[in-house]
Structure formats: structure tokens, C-alpha cells
Chains A and B, each alone.
Chain A
Amino acid sequence: MNNDNIIEQLTQSEYKYGFVSSIEQEFAPKGLNEDVIRFISAKKNEPEYMLEWRLKSYAHWKKMTEPHWAKLYYPPIDYDDAYYYAAPKKNLKLSLDEVDPELLATFNKLGVPIEEQKHLAGVAVDAVLDSVSVATTFKSKLAELGIIFCPISEAIIEHPELVKKHLGSVVPYTDNFFAALNSAVFTDGSFCYIPPGVRSPMELSTYFRINAASTGQFERTLIIADEGSYVSYLEGCTAPIRDENQLHAAVVELIAYKKAEIKYSTVQNWYPGDKDGKGGIYNFVTKRGICLGDNSKISWTQVETGSSITWKYPGCILKGDNSVGEFYSVAMTNNKQQADTGTKMIHLGKNTKSRIVSKGISAGKSNNSYRGLVKINKGSENSRNFSQCDSLLIGDRCGAHTFPYLEVSNSSAIVEHEATTSKISEDQLFYFKQRGISNEDAIAMIVNGYAREVLNQLPMEFAVEAQKLLAVSLEGSVG
């Protein structure tokens, strides 16, 4: 009936998952210097090679300047005013029953199905609260197949040869400012290795949480799929309300060997800040996968609804012949959120294919940008790319922007890019109303239909949560 009302409600819906769990934490001193890095490394009982790598990264980071090319506006970040290490003190790593009950309650509030895991089966959760892995389930079951799924801090100690070979091979510490910072101070994350020919029997899943006040969380994820293997990895995030901006600079590296396939799905619902843009997470993520061997495949799917600032470009380097890269994204921004996200597809091998489907939804006073690169190298014969970037605008004070870069150096490559921008039209709403469907339901249905192409790519458990998230973001209009 009244579009303005709906838009107002939509743009004012409060963050549902805002709460702080009062778990005692252990902090490293505020600020960043070599001592803090040594402290983190020592806390993690890391071998010498890691400390060296961290210090090299730190030395390189000091020489770099923060990038500002993205269409993002935020106050300068004081890197010396953050804690780089925080760990829950009552850290129990044994069975699920011994985990701090308050922590479990926190996850339950978020809807993380740790308690239900045993019954639901099919999802192994490596739950990360701030920086230390607290509970790992289904580890033994995976171990039978030879799959290594553990916190990266554990892998550094127990599988040094795998870590040494692969860590930083896709995202070197010299890659960019935030990757260098992450390499120096990362505290935990997930490590996953799928041996040759193994198909992971369940979706691997991790929940990231940012909990302690002003703690930058620096996660590092490394997934290696050996020859002919398959893995589907889920990452989901929610964070409690904070009035101080929180910095998050994660690095995710995927490596797919010959005929291997990695499917990486993300649902991101961090605190986006209140309706005036106060608080909220700063999310500067470097995600990149490499299709190292022939006939390999990497697929990224993301649903981004949170963070006040998103700076994220999951990419694929298609090195092996006949390799495939995919990127499916729904990015929703509201209030004063800003998202600058997209992908990079670098075609090196012959007959490589990539597909990009990006759906942006902007509401309120938010800004949503797609920024992507498709690069076809000279030797990449018969490569193919298709990109589609659509933007949906809800309200007249939001912005939707597209910055696609197409660089083609091979005549046999076919590259196509298309983008459209539109709003929910009166015609569409009229059609729904004619059939007795309220305005609110109509908008929700249109948005869901608009994002369907991407949501369909998510594994079942996540598709449900993603739809829930879109509904929450649309709250007020859908009730």
C-alpha cells in the first residue's frame, strides 16, 4: 500500500543476532609490533618456520599502505588500537559436553546446530569463537577417510609439510595490505585436506564469530583438494552488536589439484552497524582459489548481508586446462552499509571456463558495488566467460555500481558481460496485489526470486539459512 513505509521499515529493521556472551577472554596487549607477533606465535606453540613467515609478513606489511581504490568511505583505521589476540580462557577441546555451556548457548542463539549436529549428521562443525577453535565434531569419522579437517594452528604443528607447501601459495603475504596483515597476525582458522580420490561424505562447516570488544579477527583458511577429490565447505558468520568498528581481515586459500572440485559457500551476517551507520564490522577479505591441475573446478557462492564495510573479491586462477571457475553472489546492503565485492577470474589454461552471477540488492542509504576482473591470457585458447551482474534498488537514496574489467588477449576466447539495474516496478507489485498478496509479501517474494539463481547454488542447510537472512533483512516488510 505505502511503499515509503515499507522501505522505511525495511531499512530500520534491527540486527537480530546482537548480543554479547560474557565468556572470559585472554588478550594480547593492544597494538601491533613484533612482540605481539611473537606472543601469538608462542601462544600457539608454533614451530620456528611459522614465526619467521609471520615476521617476514609483518616487515612487508609495514612497507605497504592501505588501499583506497574501492568505492568505500570509512574513517581511518588505527591498527595500533586493536587487540590482535583474544582467546576464551576456559578453553576445553575435548568432547562436546565439556564445552562451556554459555558458549553453547551463544551458538544456539545463532542457530548454529552444534547440539543438533549428532542428530542431523551430514555437517561437521569446526566452531571458532574469536580466535581459538573450541569444538570439533566428526573429526574421527572424517579421519577414517584420510580427510584432515582441523584448526589451522593444529595443522601447522601436525602437518607442517602440507602447510609449508601450500600456505601463501595462492595468496602470498605480498599480495595486498590486508593479506599481509593477516599473514602476520592470524590466530586461527580452518585447515582441510582431502586425499586423492576421496569424496567428502559431508559438508564441512565453520562458524566464525567475533566476540570480544575491539578484537580484530584474522582467520586463515586453507583447503587442499588432492587429485580427483571433492569437498563442499560452508562458512557462516554472525556477530553481536558493537558500537566500535571491528576489523576483520581474513584470508582463504583453495587449491584444487587435477580433477578435484571445491565448492566454497559463505553466508555472512555480521553486525552491519545501526541505521546511522554506527558500529558494524569492517570486513576486508582476500579469498582466492587456484585450479592447479587439469579438469579441476572451484566454485564460490556467497550471500552477503552483514558488515558495515565489505571488501571482498573471491577469485579463481584457472591454471589447469579445462578447469572451471564459478562465482555466485548475493550482496544485500541496507541503512548505511557499503559493499564493494566481486570476483577475479584469471584464465591461464586452455579451454577454461568461468561463470559469474552477481546479484546486488541495495536499500536505505547503502552503496553496493560489483567489481570484477576477467582476464584471458594469451595462451588460454578457447576459453569462455559469462558474467551477469544485476542490481536491484529499493529506495531512492541508495546506490548500485558496477566496475567490471575485461582483459582479453586471445582471439579464440569468448567473453560476455552484461549488467542491468532496476527497481521493483509498480507493474510487478500490481500483479501480486491483484492476486491478493500484500505489498510486503510481494517484495519478499520478488527479492527471493531475484536471488534464487544464486541461492540454488547453496547446499541445502545453507539455502535455508540464507533465505532466513534475506527475510530478516527484509523484516518489517514481511513480518
Chain B
Amino acid sequence: MNMNTGFSKFIDSMRDYFENSNGTTQISDFRRNAWNEFERNGIPTRKTEDWKYVNLSFIGDIDFNYAKFISKINDIRKYDKFRTILPSAHNLIFVNGVFLPELSSPAIPQIEYCSLNTDTMLVNFSNNVNLNNRIKSHKNPFSLLSEALTDNYFSIRIEDNVTIETPIHLINILDSSDESIISTTRCNISIGKNSEVSLIETNYKTGNNAGLGINLTNIIADNDSRCTYYKLQSDNNNSYFISETNFLQNRGSMLDSFSFSLDGKLIRNDLNIVLNGSGSESNLYGLYFADGKDLIDNHTSIYHANPDCSSNQTYKGILAGSGTGIFNGKIVVEEDAQRTKAYQSNKNILLSNDATINTKPQLEINADDVRCSHGATSGRLDEESLFYLRSRGISADDAKILLLKAFADDIISKVKYTELQDLISNLVSEKFTSNGNN
């Protein structure tokens, strides 16, 4: 029911692409359904509860084309530099949604990955009722677009009983050298029983035109597996990132999820976790920093579907300039999920009066033997702490940076992969320095 005619051009352009992609690949019923649902819902407006704080008018203003990779890009060596961001990781490079094996690290035996346009795993994920029934009510419309338009599904399968030492790094690059583009990816990852893996997803953009990257990642973590998942977005180059990550955790599985949203005109992350087996555990950490006119929107939903699961969330935000931060954390405890433990905290620091934070920690509890709590705060840097530092001869700017670092370090210090920790630490320090001096 999209009444906003401002988006009709965008939708028409996407429809053209969708109908014409018929020539290269078969449009499955699945894709057709996703398209129909996308078109029925349209681009969300301020009246859509899940998008009420997000201004999406850029979609109507910018002339986005769906990224055509193969015909346009000839020199792939120019993406080499992205391999050096985390040199020791197992780097998998995607440009405008297409996997580039030539640039990526050589395959290793325990990980099986492929880029296909038909995939049995796709069916597994799409038909997974445990996951889909829960998230369909707040389905991200851009994920529908990704489901409808993406030709190539990338899938990673980790065998049972293996420990992957090298973190797997998925680098999503938008190349907007020629025109303003929108690119979509769909990635399915399954982690075998009793296996352990670290996954990193990053978003970058090259080229001077605008770019909208839509990532949809589904992860199924089987019994007793352990997964660490990092998402890093730090690209202030006219870039818009909208992503949805869905986790299904089976019995006894453990997840540590990190989200670092440091730069981007618009960053919207939906993180949905279904604790589907008893004894499973999720720890979610997030750090977001919005300055300039950036808007960073983190939506998390945790569904406690079975007894004896626990979840823990700590999201911290710093808002400077005219930046806007949004945190919407939902915890759902379903009827039979007794002995659930769920904690959530969201803390925010506002550095300027033009910055805004909108936070909504949400609890929906339908079982009685639960321990759930949430807390949310917003304020500025503590005057007394600042005074304490200044009275010891530390300049106002340095004192401010010191306190901000301490605030952020809570999250950054939990990153176990040191190369990544250093990278994030440096990015954050740079931001503090540029914001501390005003």
C-alpha cells in the first residue's frame, strides 16, 4: 500500500530489472513471491512502525540503477586493496553482489562455498518455519527486494566437528564509478554440529556516485556450535547500507555477535535471532557512532522459543553533529520458554544538541519463570569525570576523548580477533579526534 508516488520511479526501475532478469536465469516462484510482497508493501514511510525514524526520501531522489556487474567492470585488480584490510583473514570479495574467486583467498578444505543461482540450501532457509514465522511480521522490505532481485546466492557450509581458526571475512564492495547503484546480496551460512567459526561482514564503496547496498544473510547454527559474528560498517562516501541478518540457533549453540556502525549516510541493521534449541546462548554487542548527518538504525529481535536459553545485549551509541541514532531492541519470550534469562542494555552519549537518539527497548513476555530486564539511558559526558581529568592537567579535548574511549572500549575490548580489534580501535580513535575538537 505504497501511496508515496515519489518512489514509483524507483519501483518501476526495479520491476524492469526483475522482469528482464528472466532472460539470464529462471525466476523461481520464490523470487516471484518476494517481488509481489515487496511491491504490495512498497517502500516504508514514517508511518511504518519499524521505519518511523528513518527518512528514506533519498530512494526517490537519487536515480538508482540495479548494479550490472559483468558488463561494466573490466579491471578487477583495483579491488586488491580491500584484501589488505584484514590480511590474515580468509577474505571473500564481492563486488556489486557478485563473488570474485580470483581476488579471494584460496579455498580451504573444511569450508565449502559456492555461488549458485539454484541451491538446495536456499530452499532450506526460505522454508525454515522456525525462522520465517517469527520474522515475517516485521519483514524488512529491502530484504524482500534482495530475495527478488539477487541472481546468485552465496552459500557457505561448515562441516561438523571442525574448528576454523582463520576468520572468514565477507567483503561487500559497492562500485558506483559509472552511476548510482543499488546492489543486493543473499548469503546463506550453515555451521555444522559442534563446529566453531568466526565470520566478519564488512561494507565498502568505491566510486563517486551514490550506492545502496542491501545485504541479507541467514545463518543456521547447529547443535553445540560456536559462532562469532562481526559486522563492520565504516564508509562515509555517499553510501547507504541496509542489511538483515537472521540467526537460527539450535540446541546448545553459542553466538557472539558484534555490530560496529561507524560511518555511512544511512546504516540500518536488522539482527534477528531465534533461540530454537534449549541451552542456546546469544551475546550481542553493538557500538554505533553517528556524526555529520548520519543516521544509524539498529533493530535487534531475539526470540526465546525454547526453555533454558539466555541472551545478553549491550549496545552503546555516541551521537555527535546532527547525527541520529536509533536502537530498537526486542526480546520475545514465547509461551513455553521457561527459565529464560534475557538482559538488554542500551547506553547513549549525546555530544551535541543537534544529535538525536531514539531508543525503544521492548520486552514481550509470555512465560512466567523468566528473568528479563532492560535498561536504556541517554546523557552527556559526566561533568565530574571531566573535571577530575582537567584538574590533573589534561586538556578539555583530551579528557573528552579519554572518556569516550573508555565508553567505547567496553565493546571493542570484547573483540577476540586482534587484527580486527586494532582496526576498529583506530577507526574509532580517528572519529573521536575529529569530533573531540569541536
A431 within 8 Å of B (CB atoms): no
Q: Tell me, yes or no, whether B156 is within 8 Å of chain A by CB.
A: no
Known: A408-B357, A411-B351. A422 touches B364 (CB 8 A): no
Please report which residues of chain B, range 319-378, place their CB below 8 angstroms from some CB of chain A when the two chains form the complex: 335, 338, 348, 350-378
A394-B368, A399-B366 known; A419+B378 contact, CB < 8 A: no
Contact with B along A228-266 (1 / 0, CB 8 A): 000000000000000000000000000000000000000
Q: B363 is contacted by which of A376, A405, A419 (Cβ under 8 Å)?
A: A419
Q: Contact between A411 and B353 (Cβ–Cβ < 8 Å)?
A: yes
A159 within 8 A of B: no
A406 engages B356 (CB within 8 Å): no
Given known pairs A393-B368, A394-B368, the reply for A415 and B377 (CB within 8 Å) is yes
Cβ A401 vs Cβ B376 within 8 A: no
Chain A residues near B361: list those with CB within 8 A: 402, 404, 417, 419
Interface SS majority for chain B: strand
Q: Is there an interface contact between B356 and A419, defined as CB atoms closer than 8 Å?
A: no
Name the CB-closest residue of A to B53.
A407
> Is B372 touching A420 in the complex (CB atoms < 8 A)?
yes
A391 within 8 A of B: yes
A112 to chain B, nearest CB (A): 36
Q: Mark B104-146, 1 if CB is under 8 A from A, else 0.
A: 0000000000000000000000000000000000000000000
Instruction: Determine whether the beta carbon of A409 is less than 8 Å from that of B365.
Output: no
Task: For B372, give its contact among A394, A405, A421 (CB under 8 Å).
Answer: A421
Chain A interface helix/strand/loop/mixed: strand
Q: In the complex, are the beta carbons of B378 and A396 less than 8 A apart?
A: no
Q: In the complex, are the beta carbons of A421 and B363 less than 8 A apart?
A: yes
Q: How far is the CA of A416 from the CA of B348 in the complex (A)?
A: 10
Cβ-based interface call for B87 (8 A): no
What is the chain B residue whose CB lies nearest that of A395? B368
Q: Count residues of chain B with CB under 8 A from any CB of chain A.
A: 35
Rounded to whole Å, the gap between the CB of A384 and the closest CB of chain B is 9
User: B379 at the A/B interface (Cβ < 8 Å)?
Assistant: yes
> Does B380 count as interface, using CB distance less than 8 angstroms?
yes
For A411, give its contact among B350, B367, B372 (CB under 8 Å).
B350
| Shortest Cβ distance from residue B51 to the other chain A in the assembled complex, whole angstroms | 14
B384 CB-CB contact with A under 8 Å: no
Q: Assuming A406-B357, A416-B377, A419-B374, is B365 touching A401 (CB within 8 A)?
A: yes
CA distance A406 to B367 in the complex (A): 26
Of listed A393, A419, A423, residue having the most chain B CB within 10 A: A419
B49 contacts the other chain (CB 8 A): yes
Contacting pair B360 A405 (CB below 8 A): yes
Q: Which residues of B contact A405 (CB under 8 A)?
A: 358-360
Decide yes or no whether A398 CB sits under 8 A from chain B: yes
- Could you tell me if B374 and A418 are in contact, using CB atoms closer than 8 angstroms? yes
Residue of A nearest to B357 (CB): A408
Q: Which of A378, A399, A407, A411 contacts B365 (CB 8 A)?
A: A399
Residues in chain A near residue B352, CB distance under 8 A: 411
| CB <8 Å contact, A408 and B375 | no
Of B350, B352, B363, B380, the most chain A CB neighbours within 10 A belong to B363
- Contact A417 B375, beta carbon cutoff 8 Å: yes
B350 close to A420 (CB less than 8 A): no
Determine if B360 and A409 form an interchain contact, defined as CB atoms under 8 angstroms apart. no
The answer for the CA separation of A419 and B348 in the assembled complex, in Å, is 17
The listed residue (B358, B360, B373) touching A421 by CB distance below 8 A is: B373
Residue of A nearest to B336 (CB): A396
What's the nearest-Cβ distance from chain B to residue A390, in Å?
9
A400 nearest in chain B by CB position:
B365
Contacts of B379 in A (CB 8 A): 413-415
Task: Report which of B370, B371, B376 forms a contact with A416, defined as CB distance below 8 A.
Answer: B376
A27 neighbours in B (Cβ, 8 Å) = none
| Neighbouring A residues of B359 by C-beta, 8 Å | 405-406, 408
Which residue of A378, A401, A423 is within 8 Å of B369 (Cβ)?
A423
Min Cβ gap A347→B in Å is 12
Specify which chain B residues have a CB less than 8 angstroms from the CB of A394 in the assembled complex: 368
Taking the closest CB of chain B, its distance from the CB of A57, in whole angstroms, is: 23
Contacts A396-B338, A409-B353, A421-B363 given: A404-B376 contact, CB under 8 Å? yes
Neighbouring B residues of A391 by C-beta, 8 Å: 363, 365
Binary interface encoding of chain A residues 100-140 relative to chain B, with 1 for a CB under 8 A from any of its CBs, else 0: 00000000000000000000000000000000000000000
Q: Select which of B49, B351, B360 is within 8 A of A404 by beta carbon.
A: B360
Taking a contact as CB atoms under 8 Å apart, the answer to whether B380 and A408 are in contact is no
**Which residue of chain B has the shortest Cβ distance to A384 in the bound complex?**
B379
Given contacts A403-B362, A407-B358, contact A419 B368 (CB under 8 A): no
Which of A398, A408, A412, A420 has most B Cβ within 10 Å? A408
- Which residues of A are found within 8 Å of B367, using beta-carbon distances? 393, 396
Residue of A nearest to B381 (CB): A411
Contact with B along A16-40 (1 / 0, CB 8 A): 0000000000000000000000000
B6 to chain A: closest CB distance in Å?
Answer: 24
Most buried by A among B335, B354, B361: B361
CB distance from A73 to the nearest CB of B (A): 14
| A396 to chain B: closest residue by CB | B368
In the assembled complex, how far is the CB of residue A283 from the closest CB belonging to chain B, in whole angstroms?
22
B377 proximity list for chain A (CB < 8 A): 414-417
Any chain B CB within 8 A of the CB of A397?
yes
Shortest beta-carbon distance from B325 to chain A in Å:
10
Q: Chain B 189-200 against A: per-residue CB contact (8 Å), 1 yes, 0 no?
A: 000000000000
Contacts of A9 in B (CB 8 A): none
| Interchain CA distance A451-B197 in the complex, whole Å | 48
Given known A-B contacts A406-B357, A409-B356, A416 and B375 have beta carbons under 8 A apart: yes
Instruction: Check A410 for interface membership: any CB of B closer than 8 A.
Output: yes
> Cβ of A69 < 8 Å from any Cβ of B?
yes
CA distance A376 to B376 in the complex (A): 14
Are A410 and B363 touching (Cβ within 8 A)?
no
Contact in complex: A418, B368 (CB < 8 Å): no
Whether A397 touches B378, Cβ cut-off 8 Å, given contacts A407-B358, A419-B363, is no
Give Cα A404–Cα B378 distance, bound, in whole angstroms: 14
Question: B373 contacts A69, CB within 8 Å?
Answer: no
- Which residue of chain B lies nearest to A412 when distances are taken between CB atoms in the complex? B380
Which A residues from 366 to 395 make CB contacts under 8 A with B? 376, 378, 391, 393-395
- Flag if A406 contacts B368 (CB, 8 Å): no
Closest residue on chain A to residue B370 by CB atoms: A421
| Complex CA distance for A474 and B59, rounded to whole angstroms | 55
Quick one: which of B361, B368, B376 has the most chain A CB within 10 A? B368
Contact A411 B376 (CB under 8 A): no
A415 to B375, CA, bound (A): 11
Inter-subunit contact B358/A406 (CB<8 Å)? yes
Contacts of A71 in B (CB 8 A): 364
Bound Cα distance from A378 to B360, whole angstroms: 19
Say yes or no: A410 contacts B350, CB within 8 Å. yes
Query: Could you tell me the distance between the alpha carbons of A413 and B359 in the complex, rounded to whole angstroms?
Result: 14
Contacts of B357 in A (CB 8 A): 406-408
In the complex, chain B residues 365-418 whose Cβ is within 8 Å of any chain A Cβ: 365-380
Contacts of A403 in B (CB 8 A): 360, 362
B-chain residues with CB within 8 Å of residue A376 when the two chains form the complex: 378
Q: Tell me whether B373 and A419 are in contact (CB under 8 A).
A: yes
- Given contact pairs A393-B367, A409-B355, A415-B377, enumerate 16 new A-B contacts (beta carbons under 8 Å): A378-B353, A393-B365, A399-B364, A400-B363, A402-B361, A402-B363, A406-B357, A408-B356, A411-B350, A414-B377, A416-B375, A417-B375, A417-B377, A418-B374, A421-B365, A423-B368
7 nearest interchain CB pairs? Answer: A411-B350, A393-B368, A414-B379, A421-B372, A418-B375, A420-B373, A402-B363
Q: Chain A: residues with CB nearer than 8 A to chain B?
A: 69, 71, 376, 378, 391, 393-423
Can you show 10 pairs from A to B with CB atoms below 8 A apart? A391-B363, A399-B365, A401-B363, A405-B359, A406-B360, A412-B353, A415-B377, A416-B377, A419-B372, A419-B375
